[in-house]
Structure 1
Amino acid sequence: MSPEKENQLPGPYVPTLILHGGAGNITRKNLPPDLYEQYESSLLKYLDSARKLLDSGFSALDASVHAVSLMEDDPLFNCGRGSVFTEKGTIEMEASIMVASVDPDRDGRDGGSMAAEQKRGASVSLVRATRHPIQLAREVLLVQPNAKASSLHCQLSGPEVEEWGWREKGLERKDHSWFWTEKRWAEHLRGLQKDQMRDDNRPHSALAQVGSKTGPTHDEDNFLPSQGTVGAVCMDSWGDVVVATSTGGLTNKKVGRIGDTPTLGAGFWAESWEEPCAMSSTEPTVLVRGKAIMLTMKDRLTTAVNAGLGELLQACWPSMPTADQSDELLLPTGMKAAQATNLHWTGSLVKTQARPRTVPEMYYENTASSTKHKRASRRRAVAISGTGNGDTFLRTAACRTTAAICRFCTQGPTSNPTALAAAADMTAGINGEMQRSAGDRWEATGEGQAGMIGIEVCSDAYDSEGGPTAYTASKKPRLAGTVVSNFNCGGLFRAWVDETTGEGKVMVFREEYH
């Protein structure tokens, strides 16, 4: 972005975005140059269109919905007009959206932004006749909270929500012919033939010959799967991050099947939190709900005394669990004793930088109140969208798991918070959790295949000992987010803005296509 454009932005962050167009068993053999160029052209066009909105000061919510709406009109992708068919030959689409902000307390937020952040996420499923399911998900997200509990529903499905969108929100309705494409219908018929042959116990060699007139089969190397779920993750100049995802689901899925795309935490997630970013003291610390709490000398002495009492009781009462067996923390002075059964620790009696189980915030007291023990904090936000085998995303709660690794796990001798890139590698990368979850079914079916994109952003540090401090980034220099992508399968279609050149970039493999 040019300096002139940066100066026109209303907020202190550099806008950024990343898109995905599906992941799966993609190879150079089943992705010839002419087809790759179609994907490249479409993704670059949609990336540029959404980028212009962000650079003009539009919100991440506007830009992400805009990008996904464009892809929903493109038959290349498995969403909207390019959606796959159910086993009954019908269309059932899904879409979702979720928001988070690195600066949630800033002034000037409109009612829509506050409503979205209160609800955080919304999704729709079993959508059959709405041209842009992602726009329907957006309207569900922006319903203003009121006295009715229904105003905060996060997931809606079926004809009622569609009719509400057409009647009250002016969304566009399309008949069945709009969504029908020859390519997806051929996939549907081919799948039905193969299922019938399996039921008849036909040999594998016969299955491989199915669909010679309509295209190759899943058993051949030149099969391009329909795992073309699309997604956009955007960050605007205010540090708001939004993930928008849309899909037609799996080819020949059961009617009524709900996948990962409309399921919060599975196929999408966005979250922000406060975390420590530096320590001015060498005192040991423990992490509680992502906050570093220092153990004073008094705390450590108390812990040592408790340990000695534990050994004495063990000698008198052999059946009493040891510290290693009970796997619990003897709490430092100042923490509520009620936490003892709620915090989980591994190994010895007290381990610094270990990870507790989640405990209500009310149970915590700040034991690092000494003025010489100041600590710096910051706010951090992530937004993640997934594509691939939806059932694997559901079984592993993949996107929320990835965010949780960022929020609750530390790495290295300095115990730095885990970066989103490292967390995504643990879940969606090669030999990651999603691949391992498939077990011996890996590569025998599409199970375990996954691709993931995301954005991570951090605020400036601030001193929490100095009283209430606004979560506001410095104006100069502008802070930038980090775009992330990873996958464990043949390829992942993704498009983003290259930081070095400022130009849009598309890739499908780990190396350049050309």
Structure 2
Amino acid sequence: MTVTYAASSESTPQPRFRPTVIIHGGAGNIVRSRIPPELYERYRASLLKYLHSTVTLLNGEQEEGDGTKKKITPYSAIDAAVHAVSLLEDDELYNCGRGSVFTLTGTHEMEASVMVCSLLPETQGCEDVKRALIKRGAGVMMLKNVRHPVQLAREVLLRNDVEGHRGNGESMHSHLCGPYVESLAKEWGLESKPDEWFFTQKRWDEHMKGLGKGASIDHDTLPKPGEDISKYLSQGTVGCVCLDQWGNIAAATSTGGLTNKLPGRIGDTPTLGTGYWAEAWDVPSSSTRRALGLSCTGNGDSFVRVAAAHSAASLLKLGAKDSLADAITAIAGPGGELQRSAGPRWGVTGEGSGGIIGIEAEVPHDAEERQSEEPIKGKAVFDFNRGGMLRAWTEEDADGVLRERMMAFRDEYYS
């Protein structure tokens, strides 16, 4: 399903930034022996397809059924990120939306979030970003029948109550859960599906196999004591971070949670500062403004305990790290804060396992310095602390050409 939101053309300024996108499809104990070539190719094809679709919309084009493209108003970062995650939510390969795992009692409880920041808040380029910056971020949780939880998170983010009307579900709440927010989804025109829509045999088999073994990071149950943990494929939450043409960065994230989690368990995905973050700030020691967006995946309970997303952002903002890549590695890389948080249980219980994707960018304060023929560029970054992380992103090659890439491990799958 394609989200049809787009930036308002009435206030669209000239583009200043080169759109950048990064998507993840889960991280954990992913090893080659658990991903045969045919499965890897399915992941590769889907992630690159969704990446390309998102980049195309950010650039103000839309692909028709015959392969041609038509010009449209470029998507904002919010709408592009929601578009990408909506596609993932309809893909049974991933633990979100239709492919969500089951709780201990055989039900679904889905979660999602959206957050935004702007390098140039005075000229965001579209009305939705202007509204979104009031709350900054929003999470929804314990959803059972909303087809696209990430679209509901977007609506909660945009529907503020700054004027005190309290009509049509508007509020200043950042976290909403359960039946009432599902009723708001229907009121706001979002699509709902019956329980059968979210049933997949693969997830049900995982649920039945894992009963009595506790919650697992997601696709497969954890091994019994003494079993080789490398046999188990773990993937999880999906997410997307986008930088649009006007300097807005948005992070959208969605998950079905842990396989066989206790009903009512809330993870990092909808929780501000733990599974997602977006922030922009003026750098006191220079004449620049910096911004970042983050989306996390892995063992959500561990991400909550270390406030993973906000911790990574703070390392950069407070000057402890010089780049977002270094900040992410300090939290989610090998030997990082997440791994240390598991203590002696690392590699045994699934605690601490995961990864983070992000985008960083900066812009000079001086308006004249921003008037360049070359667009300002963002940088997509990532790291993870176990076997792999499914991700696809855009990056510039040595010739200045923007390439679309996909990887599952630290080296190429076919190396």
Q: Same fold (TM over 0.5)?
A: yes
Structure 1 counterpart of 2:67: none
Q: Residue 404 and residue 74 in structure 1: after superposition, are their counterparts in 2 closer, same or farther (change >3 A)?
A: same
Distance verdict in 2 for CA 1:478–1:28, change over 3 Å: same
* Corresponding residue number in structure 2 for 1:103: 120
CA drift at 1:450 = 1.4
Which of 294, 299, 313 is the aligned partner of 1:403? 313
SS in 2 for 1:459: strand
> Aligned partners of 2:14 and 2:107: how far apart in 1?
45
TM-score (norm 2): 0.87
Which of 21, 27, 45 lines up with 2:31 in the alignment?
27
Q: Which residue of 1 aligns with 2:191?
A: 172
Please give the alpha-carbon distance, in whole angstroms, between the structure 2 residues aligned to 1:123 and 1:410: 28
Hey, what's the Cα distance between the residues in 2 that align with 1:195 and 1:134?
A: 27
1:394 aligns with 2:403: no
Greater mean alpha carbon deviation, residues 81-90 or residues 99-108: 99-108
Gaps of 5+ in 1: 1-7, 197-203, 210-217, 276-290, 293-375, 412-417, 463-469
**Partner Cα distance (1:223, 1:490) in 2:** 11
For the pair 1:502 / 2:412, whether they are aligned, the reply is no
Deviations 1:432-451 (A, max 9, x none): 11111110000011101111
Corresponding residue pairs, total = 377
- CA 1:509–1:191: 2 relative to 1, 3 Å: same
Q: CA deviation at 1:461?
A: 4.7
Distance in structure 1 (CA, Å) of the matches to 2:141 and 2:363: 35
| Cα pair 2:135 2:160 within 8 Å, conserved | no
CA distance in 2, matches of 1:30, 1:100: 38
1:67 to 84, 100, 106: 84
SS of 1:164 mapped into structure 2: helix
- Letter aligned with residue 93 of structure 2: L
1:284-333: CA deviation from partner (whole Å, max 9, x where unpaired): xxxxxxx24xxxxxxxxxxxxxxxxxxxxxxxxxxxxxxxxxxxxxxxxx
**Quick check: 2:76–2:129 contact (8 Å CA) kept in 1?**
no
Tell me what 1:245 maps to: 253
Q: Which of 96, 100, 103 pairs up with 1:83?
A: 100
Would the aligned equivalents of 1:459 and 1:471 in 2 still touch at CA under 8 Å? no
Alpha-carbon contact 1:106-1:472 (below 8 Å) kept:
no
Q: Aligned runs of 1:181-260 on 2, under 5 Å?
A: 181-194=200-213, 207=224, 219-225=228-234, 227-260=235-268
Query: Whole-Å Cα distance in 2 between the matches of residues 75 and 9 of structure 1?
Result: 39
Q: Distance in 1 between matches of 2:192 and 2:369?
A: 42
Q: Distance in 2 between matches of 1:273 and 1:240?
A: 13
Within the candidate set 402, 406, 411, 1:511 is matched to 411
The CA deviation at 1:194 is 3.9
1:48 aligned onto 2:52: yes
Residue identity opposite 2:361 in structure 1:
V
1:265 alignment counterpart: 273
Residue in 2 aligned with 1:117? 133
In the TM superposition, residue 11 of structure 1 has moved relative to its aligned partner by: 1.4
Contact 1:126 1:157 in 2 (8 A): yes
1:160 alignment counterpart? 180
Write the distance in 1 (CA, Å) between the matches of 2:161 and 2:280: 21
Contact persistence 1:460–1:474 (CA under 8 A)? no
The gaps in structure 2 that reach 5 residues or longer are 1-11, 61-73, 216-221
| Offset of residue 164 of structure 1 | 0.9
Per the alignment, residue 481 of structure 1 pairs with 378
The answer to whether the aligner puts 1:141 opposite 2:161 as a matched pair is: no
Q: Describe the SS at the equivalent of 1:266.
A: coil
CA shift digits 1:33-57 (9 cap, x unpaired): 1111110010001001111100112
Larger radius of gyration: 1
Q: Which amino acid aligns with 2:87?
A: L
Aligned-pair CA distance for 1:475: 3.5
Q: Secondary structure at the match of 2:268?
A: coil
Q: Distance between the aligned counterparts of 2:135 and 2:54, measured in 1? A: 24
Q: Do the aligned residues in 1 keep the contact of 2:58 with 2:244 (CA within 8 Å)?
A: yes
What's 1:380 paired with? Answer: 290
Identity of aligned pairs, percent?
51
The one-letter code sitting in structure 2 at the alignment partner of 1:106 is T
Q: Does the 8 A contact of 1:100 with 1:117 survive in 2?
A: yes
CA RMSD of aligned residues (A): 2.2
CA 395–377 in structure 1, closer or farther in 2 if over 3 Å, else same: same
